[in-house]
A and B are shown apart, each in its own frame.
Chain A
Amino acid sequence: GAVVSQHPSRVICKSGTSVKIECRSLDFQATTMFWYRQFPKKSLMLMATSNEGSKATYEQGVEKDKFLINHASLTLSTLTVTSAHPEDSSFYICSASDGFSYEQYFGPGTRLTVT
Chain B
Amino acid sequence: ELKVEQNPLFLSMQEGKNYTIYCNYSTTSDRLYWYRQDPGKSLESLFVLLSNGAVKQEGRLMASLDTKARLSTLHITAAVHDLSATYFCAVENTGNQFYFGTGTSLTVIP
Give the interface of A toward B (CB within 8 A).
Answer: 32, 34, 36, 41-46, 49, 60, 93, 95, 97, 102-104, 106-109, 111
Contact = CB atoms under 8 A, between A and B. Distances in A.
> Chain B contact residues (Cβ within 8 angstroms of A): what range?
20 to 34
Contacts, number: 47
A32 B95 CA distance: 10
A104 B43 CA distance: 11
Interface in B81-110: 88, 90, 92, 95-103, 105
A91 to B, nearest CB: 8
A95 B95 CA distance: 14
Interface of B: 1, 31, 33, 35, 40-43, 45, 48, 50, 88, 90, 92, 95-103, 105
Contact of B96 (A42, A45, A97, A111): A97
